[in-house]
Structure 1
Amino acid sequence: MATALTMAGTSAGFSKESAGLSADDSLIGHGEFKYKVDKAWAKISVNSNPLFNCHEMVQDSKGRLIMLGDHTHNNILIFDKSGKLLDNWGTAWPGGHGLSISKEGGEDFLLIVDCGWYQNKSGNWNPQAGQVIKTDINGRIIFAIGHPKTIGIYKDDEKFMPTETAIGPNGDIYVADGYGSDYIIQYNSRGQYIRHFGGRNNTNPDLNLRCAHGVAIDYRNKNNPTLICTSREENCFKVFTLDGKFLHRIDMPGMHVCRPVMDGDNLYAGVCWSNDAAGKMIGGNSGFVTILDASNKVISNPGGNAPVYKNNVLQATLQAPGQMFQHCHDVCIDEDKNIYVCQWNANNTSPIKLTRV
């Protein structure tokens, strides 16, 4: 889900190298992170498995790829790596938006976020209160987390429209209220409240979040894991300690980034749309994927222009002209470093596979 956008033009003139294309136009990306594109990866029928928006995807301990969407005929679709549909379930989440996975006692569990935005038959978006639901891998509900005002931590006029969760090393659950009041709310593994931070009205602007769309645990420093939070309207990620103390920000100029996805030393993210060179948001189909290295430097933008640094400062990045993405909402990285791209507002298309070469 996103707010209304204004259409703007892309910059004229580009090279295949800047667009991340190989000589035969079959590859996208830059440097060592280049990919073949497979738009027909998902072997599903729109009649038997209809889609509105493919919001997020995770991989379970069996190697299966689990996608969450917002069509209540089948909120959850489970694929093997060839794109064959293995299972589907879920009919209760018209705002199906965020999906995280955890392992407890050798068993996989899902945290499903219904953000509260749903699309009616006329195509209009309608808001309602959101919720977070913990299930087992087959959809059996374990518990749900509802509006924080029921436990006294939100005022009556503060909206709760969560977008994402992350699971900490001790099982704590971090809920990003990205379409509501922009707090990160920390619960224990049983869904009991611990604290919240972020929001929009802190005296120190570093503590504020603007569209806290995503959240993830960064284990790259194994002795000191941190929390990476999206501040999408500010075109950045903000990094906090696990108890909510601000550490630093990662600026992503021009990029309206969705949730951070950690894989080894790299941070991946879908870019839902970008700004133009003048800093104006580009409407329409301006999404791509971005990849950062261990030092949080952008090293590849599949579907976007090549990253450019001047005096160690990243310059604004646009979608590469002629590219195929429409609002990249999430990515999932498998053990072979292939990327599966979920898109919002992309004509009901299924996930796209990017095979690493």
Structure 2
Amino acid sequence: MRLLWQGLAAVLLFACAAPDISATEPVRMGNGSLAFETVPGWGLRPDGNSSTGPTHGGVAVDEQGNIYTSADQGVFVFTPEGEVVHSFLGDDYTNLHDIEIRKEGDQEFVYGARNKNAEGIKFNARSGEVVLRLPFPKESGLDLKRFSPTAITVAQNGDIYLSDGYASNHIFRFDSDGKYLSHFGEKGNGLKQFNTAHGMTLDTRYEPNRLLICDRNHKPKGRLLHYSLDGEFIGEVVTGLGEPTSVAIQGDYVSVPDLKGRCVVLDRSNTVVAVLGFNPDPKRGRNYNIPQAEWIEGVFSGTHGSNWDADGNLYVQDWNVSGRLMKLRRLQ
């Protein structure tokens, strides 16, 4: 278990002080080999407005380098330059709280957790064809009053993990055809319990791979946990975070959006090595109702999803009424 060092945090937070609200130039953040700069206006329409509408979702990157982000009304696909080249709209693509992309054979598929629609879903990343739905598995024998999935990930063997983070906090395991296999976890503040198992991914930094899970509202502060693919508790990864919402891995690094208005990056030892976009105003961190006119370049309001491209650039989505997705260009 690693505690977030107060001294390191203080240095990093000072380095991320808020720029002037009128800034239109790129804003630098991070440090050393994890230095980034914002790309002002990235992802906005030609008229300067948001492309997506309200955002409460995730970010994924396909093998061609296109960026997928899920918003309330659907999924939008951007080029690395920030142009929308495709969108998936309609009843099947709303409320995707978390998304991941997996290549299977010669095709790529989007896996999503639909909190308000009480299901997991899998659809073709090109055609949008829905090929699998994962409703609450009655075969589990559980009697749940509510099912509200918040995160989804896929193991190398095709097993699918779906976290009921807004309800029971059980994590359900299915095979690649959607057959229920098992479940683990429960709601609470104990060592092996979850108080909002909000985000999750496959931690490929370890062999065998593990599940890396965000325990967003664990008391006294949020944390990340490791579980085996069989649902066995391995240990706490890092504690003392704010409200970690999701995790995305590239190489040795893990990006962890924090709903209180920042994104932290961990290295292979699970030490915090960068704090990005820190919002020093407690009234504007963890605030959904920040309209586009009040966005501040380089300062986040409620980071919810993130992902990396092959060049190490980072794409971060805010939980936001106007719909905010930002590109952080990696500096060499």
Give your verdict on TM over 0.5.
yes
Unaligned runs of 5+ in 2: 1-9, 20-24, 280-284, 287-295
Match of 1:19 in 2: 15
Match of 2:263 in 1: 289
Unaligned runs of 5+ in 1: 1-13, 117-128, 274-286, 306-317
Query: Letter of the aligned partner of 1:105 in structure 2?
Result: G
Provide the TM-score with structure 2 as the length reference.
0.82
CA distance in structure 2 between the partners assigned to 1:99 and 1:343 by the alignment: 15
Cα 1:161–1:17 change in 2 (3 A) is: closer
CA distance in structure 2 between the partners assigned to 1:264 and 1:353 by the alignment: 19
State the secondary structure of the residue aligned to 1:207.
Answer: coil
CA distance in structure 1 between the partners assigned to 2:119 and 2:237 by the alignment: 29
CA distance in structure 2 between the partners assigned to 1:43 and 1:17 by the alignment: 28
Q: Is the 8 A contact 1:21 1:27 kept in 2?
A: no
1:297-325, Cα deviation, whole Å (9 max, x unpaired): 000001239xxxxxxxxxxxx99x99621
**Superposition map of 1:304-343 within 5 A:** 304=278, 324-343=299-318
Query: Letter of the aligned partner of 1:178 in structure 2?
Result: G
Query: Letter of the aligned partner of 2:58 in structure 1?
Result: E
Aligned-residue offset at 1:58: 0.7
**Superposition map of 1:1-357 within 5 A:** 18-20=14-16, 26-44=27-45, 49-53=51-55, 55-71=57-73, 75-92=74-91, 93-116=93-116, 129-137=117-125, 138-148=127-137, 150-157=138-145, 159-200=146-187, 205-221=190-206, 223-234=207-218, 235-273=222-260, 287-304=261-278, 324-345=299-320, 347-357=321-331
1:26-72, Cα deviation, whole Å (9 max, x unpaired): 3112332121112410042688955111521111112111111112x
Query: Letter of the aligned partner of 1:97 in structure 2?
Result: H
Cα 1:45–1:91 change in 2 (3 A) is: farther
Query: Letter of the aligned partner of 1:219 in structure 2?
Result: T
CA distance in structure 2 between the partners assigned to 1:114 and 1:17 by the alignment: 34
Cα 1:328–1:201 change in 2 (3 A) is: closer
Which stretch of structure 1 is more off in the superposition, 326-335 or 243-252? 243-252
Aligned length: 298
Provide the TM-score with structure 1 as the length reference.
0.77
Q: Is the 8 A contact 1:34 1:302 kept in 2?
A: no
Aligned-residue offset at 1:85: 1.0
Aligned-residue offset at 1:20: 3.2
Aligned-pair identity in percent equals 25
Q: Is the 8 A contact 1:293 1:299 kept in 2?
A: yes
